[in-house]
Each structure stands twice: as C-alpha cells, then as structure tokens.
Amino acid sequence: MKRITIKDVAAKAGVSHPTVSRVINDDPQISEPTKERIRAIMKKLGYRPNLIARGLVKKKTQVFALVIPDLNPHVQPIVRGVIDECRRRGYGLMLFSTEYWTKEDETYSYVVSNWRVDGVLIYNVVHHERLTEDVRQLKAENVPFVFINKYLHKKNVNTVAIDNSQAVRQAVENLAGLGHKRIGILNGSLMAVDGVERFEAFKESLARLGLKFDERYVGNANFSDSEAAEEARRILALPDRPTAMFCANDLMAMGAIRAAEAMNLRVPADVSFIGFDDLEAGHWFKPALSTLRPPLRDVGGRAIDLLLKAIEDPRRKPEQVPLLAKLVLRDSCGPAPKN
C-alpha cells in the first residue's frame, strides 16, 4: 500500500528526483519533451504530490481556515462560496467554530499555529468588540486574514461585507419614492452587526430624505418572525400608524405581514413591507415579498481573492470591499395610501 513518490517516478524515467520536482512545478528550464515524457509516467503510475512534504519545505500548506460562530442560514451561501473558490484555486479549507472559545483561549493561535493554515477567513456576526484583540493575535501569528461581514469601515483590516448602508438606503428611498412619509422599522438583534448597521442606516436614510424618525415605529424583533408579528401588532395599532415598514430580514417581514393581515390591513394597499435577504420563501409568499438581495455567494470568492492578494504582497495595505445588495421589487410594497 505504499504511495508513489517522486523518486519512483524518477527511477522509472531514468532521471534524478529533482528533475521530476521541476516538472511538477513546471520549471521553464526543463525541455518540453522531457516534461511530456515524465508527465506521462506520473500519470501511468498514478503519482500524486504529497502536499505535506511540500508544505514542510515551502512553509505553505495550501489550506485556508474559515472561522465561523455557527452555521446559521446566512452563513450557508457564504461557506459555499468559499468552498467553491478554494477548490478553483487549488486550496483546501478547514472549518472552525468559535462557539465554545473562551476569552482565555488563544483562539487564532490555535488555528494558525496548530494547523499552519496559509490564511484565515473570519465570519463573526456578534457585534461585540473583540476587534483589537483578534487583530493583535492574528498579526502576531503573521498570517493574512480577512473579515467577512464586519468592520467594513475600519481602514486597517481586510474586509468583505454586504454594504448595509447602501442596501437600506435603497429600500427607504424606494418607499419614499412611493409617497410614504411614515416609515417604520422592524429591527434585528442589536447584538449583531447587521442589526446595528441596518438600524443606523435606516435612521440616516430618513434624515437624508427629510423624513421624521419616530421611536414609536421601531420594533425590536430580534430577527424572529414571531417577535416581528408581535411588534407589528403594536405598531400597526397606532392611530397614526406607519404606511410602510422596513424589515431587517425577510423572516420578520413575513411574520409582520401575516400579523397585519390578521388585523384586516391589506398589503400593500394599506401598509407596504420590504424585507432583507431574499429568502426562497419570499418568492412563494403571498404577497410576494419585496426585499434586498445580498450577493452572499460572492462574498466567499471576494474574500479568497483578498486573501490571495495579501499573500502575494504581504505589505499591501488592507482593503475594504463593500458588496452591493440588489433591490428586488415584488408585491409587498406599493404606493402610500391617499389618506
């Protein structure tokens, strides 16, 4: 059960093993006919380079690490994107979870020093400010890293993130364009980056459009449909209820719409709703959900791109890549009611 090595190939070809190595690495010094001949032999013997051995000398493992808090539905397409891109680029991907990491843990040291990965992708939805500590650890390990969906506005780290400001602004501007003046929000958890950013962006957008921000129109629904329904019931019962609601995710939008309908409000005739995520369910939902579609699948690819650039040129200055969500208009929002 011994595996074929470079030396077996060399012996069969009647050359030295470094020559085979050069063929593998496509060294231009080797003549084309020799290359062809040796490649044929490698193929015939079923030779596979041993990345472990190569890693030992090159100090490169051809493996990246992806560190995530948990596998929520948001993370899925991102992970998929990362896997695909790694495969395309000839990298392997190791997956780590931060879930049980404690403060005392040398979290990133574990990933980098132990597994000798060539780069780290960090997806961390929690809004908790560990930034400085994380970055310190990572820099100490001297490994390139990029953050995903976080720290888009920090100039000293590599980041790829959905641009919440741009996304929310589109939604609010669209509602304003439809004549809505009283616009409410069902917000996600303020423990999460997305929750905070979308809320801030919402307030800014209203301000920019000269619309009033009304505390009473704010529902904190924690990204959950049932909580959204509850908050929607409260907000829509107000005498001067909003005529449109921006919802920080589709789940909440759907929960809220069902609640509105249960109150005999017509959507979108009486109230308009717009969500965020573009869940598949939003297609099937009635009324079909207007929403913001974040290019999640691209996130992974762009993150790997950045990582690769950082590897090529270690003194390259950090870059922040905002990814733009697309406004998808369907049936859940319409012109503001006349009254």
Partner DNA sequence: CTGTTAGCGCTTTCAT
Partner DNA sequence: ATGAAAGCGCTAACAG
Q: Least separation, in Å, of the C-beta of 48 and DNA?
A: 7
The smaller minimum CB distance to DNA, of residues 53 and 190, is found at 53
Concatenated DSSP letters for 141-198? Answer: HT--EEEESS-TT-TTS-EEEE-HHHHHHHHHHHHHHTT--SEEEEE--TTBHHHHHH
116 contacts a copy of itself (rule: CB under 8 A): yes
* Residue 83 CB burial class (10 angstroms; 0-12, 13-18, ≥19): middle
When CB distances are held under 5 to 8 angstroms depending on the partner's kind, the choice from a copy of itself, DNA, none that residue 18 binds is: DNA
Q: Return residues touching DNA (CB under 7 A).
A: 2-3, 5-7, 14-19, 21-22, 24-25, 27, 29-31, 34, 49-50, 53-54, 56-58
237 contacts a copy of itself (rule: CB under 8 A): no
The smaller minimum CB distance to DNA, of residues 280 and 312, is found at 312
Helix axes 17-24, 6-13, angle to 10 degrees: 110
Q: Least separation, in Å, of the C-beta of 46 and a copy of itself?
A: 9
CA angle 52, 35, 88 (to 5 degrees): 50
Helix axes 164-177, 193-208, angle to 10 degrees: 40
Distances (CA, A) of 154 to 117, 149, 219: 24, 12, 29
Scanning 35-43, 62-70, 162-170, 206-214 for contacts with a copy of itself by CB under 8 A, the matching segment is: 62-70
The smaller minimum CB distance to DNA, of residues 56 and 281, is found at 56
The smaller minimum CB distance to DNA, of residues 49 and 69, is found at 49
Q: Least separation, in Å, of the C-beta of 149 and a copy of itself?
A: 16
43 contacts a copy of itself (rule: CB under 8 A): no
25 contacts a copy of itself (rule: CB under 8 A): no
The smaller minimum CB distance to a copy of itself, of residues 110 and 213, is found at 110
225 contacts a copy of itself (rule: CB under 8 A): yes
